[in-house]
Structure 1
Amino acid sequence: MSLDHEEASTYWTSMADSGPAPAPPRLRRSQKVGYALGHVLNDLCSSMWFTYLLLYFHKVIRFDNFYSGVVLFTGQMADGLATPFVGYFSDQGDDLTLCHKYGKRKSWHLVGTLSVLASFPFIFLRCIGCQTADDEAQLVYYAAFVIIFQFGWAATQISHLSLIPDLTDCQNERTGLTAYRYGATVLSSISIYLITWLFLGTAGGDDMIGPEDDVQFRNIMLCAVGLGAAASALFHYLVQEDPHQENRLNGSVRPDGTFHRRMLVLDWFKEPTFYLVGLVYLSTRLFVNLTQAYIPLYLQVTLQLPSTFVAVIPLVMYVSGLATSIAMKWVNRVVGRKLTFILGCLIGVIGCIWIKVGCQMNTNGVGIEIYGVAVVVGVGGSTMLITSLSSTADLIGINNDSGAFVYGAMSLLDKISNGVAVIVIQQFIPSNTDTCILCREYFRDILFFVCGGAALLGALSMAGLYPFTLGQRARDLRARAYESLPGNSYPEIGASSEEREPILS
């Protein structure tokens, strides 16, 4: 990159003589709560999607097992492909009438919310007008609604995440918003478990789910959609986005007067921190999603515990995550972002080791010991998830103009990595787990090696970020070194204030 002397002078012009920059304004509590409500519909639908989709298709509507998997796979791929698409166009939407009047993030959030509300109910209803059709025809019917649902889910998720750096420049406030968001996610998941217990648990724990339970699943779905729609309405009422927020073609000026050039899509691929934060986010999602998916199988197949534990243990994990989210802002402020994440990874590894060496089947106290495992895994996963999202916001920094693309790229990594991991794990599940005692250990090994390995990968990736300052661009450092002239004095490049940590340097 080459700039002439006049451009270089403009590029690094600082308003340092205007005095110290004022502290960023603090967000009102109503704004924080309103922001957290903006993802509740997604969280409620996601909990039903991952926990009950295959159960509903196999047991209630008697769908073919393979086609049930195709429905789930179609959703994951649609979400993965829609995420970067939505992210890119969300960043470019300033000229659209709705975006100009309402704000580009909230506009995309509204589009996504309406898409979810219009499609998700049909996924948990019998095929309307085609109940007697063959499975291939019904597959096309359900796949169409799944694609619309996942597009809407991606639009809501990316626009909601992209609002964090738009709403505040303060790193602690961003951590607080992320914690509020995760707390709402936990409460939403807990709500789904409680609603499901309300409708399905009254018949008795030993009863099998069958076609007669379609009404119960319909009621669960209606509760989820109703609660989510109300929460989304409150989000749009309480959270205000500046529709005229300026994204300059060449850059923007921070409150301290430091000039930052705009980050184009290709610019991100030249930043080492982009890849490292991507690894941090990928490993976090692998740990959180795979523990959520395979701990129920570990409880029933490996430990042979009653079905009650399948509902209670995930609930304990979510409650532990909620308690952790409340303390995250304080912990980040005291020990710093990087060390907080590494500690979360180590806690997650401890949980995986406990699963491997403890909690043996048919031993006294295993029913109590598993609660301790659930707390440790829940705390580790919550710490990793909150801190990785906050680190992504720090990576974006002042470059809000391309924030949705960054979140979209991270989410695409999440979908691909989890999809591949689940396919590989499912491929090697032993076929005789009912009769072979050693085969039952498969899910214990998955939680130890795969989930524990994901946590270690996250810790190593975050350690790789130690030499870097999130929010500071390698491109800008190169440009400054190239354009420096003898006798000129340039201000420090603006960077994430979070990195001035009391313990980390």
Structure 2
Amino acid sequence: MMIKFDFSGWGHLWDKPPDLLQLSIGHFYNDLCASMWFTYLMIYLEKVLRIRSSSAGFMMLIGQVTDAISTPLVGIASDSSLLPNFSLKIGRRLTWHMIDEKIFAGTLCVSLSFPFIFNRCFACSDSESEWYKVLWFAPFIMVFQFGWASVQISHLALIPELSSIDSSRTSMNSLRYASTVAANLAVFVVFAWFFSQNTDHTDIGPYDLPHFRTAGFMVLGGGLIMTLLFYLTIREPIHGQRLSRANSLASDTSELVRMHWTSWFGHLQFYQIALLYMTSRLYINVSQVYFPFYITMTQNYTKKYVAILPMVSYISSFVISVINGIPCLNSFINRKFIFLFGISSGISTCIWMLFELTLWQMYFVASLIGITQAILLITSLSITADLINRNTESGAFVYGAMSFVDKLANGVAYQIIELWNPSCDPTQPHKACTNFYRVVMVYVPAGCLMIGLITLFSLISSKIGERIRRRHSKRMLGFFTPISMGLVSGMLSSFLSLLIEKRSRWSSLALHLTNLASETLFRHLNNHGYVCKVKRGEVIPFMIGVGVFSYFHSTGKLDESTRKAFK
């Protein structure tokens, strides 16, 4: 009797199930580089090369903007069939993962540029301006980020190509993230060993340059070996065999059509999930970039914990990713509920980081950060794959667009943070830097999670991947007009204003913000038909403001300057 196994759940294009382990190592080289980039680049530039915080943030901004611009362009090119004949034998995704005949991309760009980033400026002297260092590193950063984006987008686009089953895609995303964790752990083990050998200095400084340079070359060698294994073992489904439905989940027509990359701009979920993905990545990257500063400058631990505590984070991430990668388990778990759990865990961690922490508490906080990062990244990638569904012919563009808003937001955030950085000497105690990195690690990630929570609530009633018809979505798209975006930005600015302003002036500030927000909300609801049109309806928010003002005045809560102005 012959036993026949049914692998249809893994995708009907394959005559055998996709090798998940082979897929997971395809991004290992990128993950090694990203670990050093996000965790150690900022502290390397500021403490080892002695570059000012504003210049370090500017170089990070250059890299993130280059990555942001590259990702949608690489996505469009990866989706295109306009490739040389030899590349079709490799696969359009794998071609961009490697190099095209005419366009240098992917692995080659990363390999040629990354070793120069974590190295000294060979064309600079100590007496020359700091801008010479910026001009030296900028081209290498741009080439590296273009190559990194090429590998990232093409590898992500392979996931919906390999399987159309939700649980299979989640398993692939989970094992892909497990590979990311393994790469980060490898980097942290290397730095933990380097820093433990150097007992003469407890802080990070110019004397640590050989450690960063050696680690860069180790990343290069290990990454190339893993990438070669990926190229030799993975194969991509033949392009063009699968057509996709206009409504992938609930189509009432049997007509099969292709979805052009420009078609995504007409779907509301595209914008919602882009915002969800952006806030997830912003939380992950900001908490990863500034965690070493928080460890050494805010909690005053030695530099060996700059490697040990992030390692704890990624060990907990690895456990979560392995659990989430079990197909029979993740198929029964609602993605939105898991994402909500991740947001709750992240906000709890941010609140805890407001206080002075003992060493065991730091280990626990590091574990919670890792759990939150794993949940947010895996779930956001799975939701993005659900959005693509069977429209894999333009899947790379979707991932590119998501990465565009993610990288652009990250770059702008780093630059703004570094412009406010007091740039303290790590060898001297400074209360300004202690408070600065505490604020960065608490309020910036927490703000991202709050925006993600609002976005998640907007997706509760919808089914991810369902293409809503234009006549039904036109009214909903009104929420994404400049007026509503102004309302969201007004809420964020109000929150920041309350943090900056003196407590004695909170009542006056609340009065002004209430009047402004109520007027904006009324105009938004009125313009899109959610409330009936009222002649001279602007008087309604004005009366709300007057009512709030009267309440503060009668209870004596107005500050002295406002009371004088009123009199």
Stretch of structure 1 that moved more, 450-459 or 318-327: 450-459
Aligned to 2:386: 394
TM-score (structure 1 length as normaliser): 0.81
C-alpha change, 1:243 and 1:205, in structure 2 (3 Å) is: farther
Aligned to 2:169: 174
- Could you say what secondary structure the match of 2:300 adopts? coil
Matched, 1:88 2:76: yes
Distance 1:67 1:93 in 2: 41
1:99 aligned residue (66, 70, 87): 87
Distance 2:291 2:390 in 1: 39
1:321 aligned residue (302, 317, 322): 317
AA partner of residue 120 (structure 1): F
Does the aligned pair in 1 maintain the 2:424–2:430 contact within 8 Å?
yes
AA partner of residue 291 (structure 2): I
Matched, 1:449 2:447: no
CA shift digits 1:367-423 (9 cap, x unpaired): 111211121221122111100000001100111111111111111111121122222
- Could you say what secondary structure the match of 1:474 adopts? coil
Alpha-carbon distance, 1:55 to partner: 4.2
Does the aligned pair in 1 maintain the 2:47–2:205 contact within 8 Å?
yes
Does the aligned pair in 1 maintain the 2:115–2:217 contact within 8 Å?
yes
C-alpha change, 1:125 and 1:447, in structure 2 (3 Å) is: closer
Q: How does 1:12-411 map to 2 (within 5 A)?
A: 23-25=9-11, 31-58=19-46, 60=48, 66-111=54-99, 112-128=106-122, 134-135=128-129, 136-204=131-199, 206=201, 213-246=208-241, 258-330=254-326, 331-356=329-354, 359-360=355-356, 366-411=358-403
Alpha-carbon distance, 1:32 to partner: 0.7
- Could you say what secondary structure the match of 2:241 adopts? coil
C-alpha change, 1:296 and 1:60, in structure 2 (3 Å) is: closer
AA partner of residue 125 (structure 1): N
CA shift digits 1:224-248 (9 cap, x unpaired): 0111111111111221102443366
Alpha-carbon distance, 1:309 to partner: 2.7
Does 1 or 2 have the higher relative contact order (CA < 8 Å, sep 6+)? 1
Q: How does 1:432-471 map to 2 (within 5 A)?
A: 437=431, 440-471=434-465
Stretch of structure 1 that moved more, 146-155 or 87-96: 87-96
The structure with more radius of gyration: 2
Aligned to 1:496: none
Aligned to 2:417: 425
Distance 2:189 2:424 in 1: 33
Does the aligned pair in 1 maintain the 2:71–2:153 contact within 8 Å?
yes
AA partner of residue 446 (structure 1): V
Aligned to 1:484: none
C-alpha change, 1:224 and 1:157, in structure 2 (3 Å) is: same
Stretches of structure 2 lacking an aligned partner (at least 5 in a row): 1-6, 100-105, 474-567
Alpha-carbon distance, 1:184 to partner: 0.7
C-alpha change, 1:424 and 1:125, in structure 2 (3 Å) is: closer
C-alpha change, 1:137 and 1:170, in structure 2 (3 Å) is: same
CA shift digits 1:87-106 (9 cap, x unpaired): 11111135432432211001
Percent identical among aligned pairs is 35
Does the aligned pair in 2 maintain the 1:37–1:184 contact within 8 Å?
yes
CA shift digits 1:233-284 (9 cap, x unpaired): 1111221102443366997999x99544322233211111111111110111
Distance 1:133 1:80 in 2: 34
Does the aligned pair in 1 maintain the 2:60–2:415 contact within 8 Å?
no
Does the aligned pair in 2 maintain the 1:199–1:220 contact within 8 Å?
no
Distance 1:275 1:391 in 2: 13
C-alpha change, 1:252 and 1:471, in structure 2 (3 Å) is: closer
Stretches of structure 1 lacking an aligned partner (at least 5 in a row): 1-20, 480-505
- Could you say what secondary structure the match of 1:38 adopts? helix
Stretch of structure 1 that moved more, 85-94 or 32-41: 85-94
Stretch of structure 1 that moved more, 146-155 or 61-70: 61-70
Does the aligned pair in 2 maintain the 1:54–1:69 contact within 8 Å?
yes
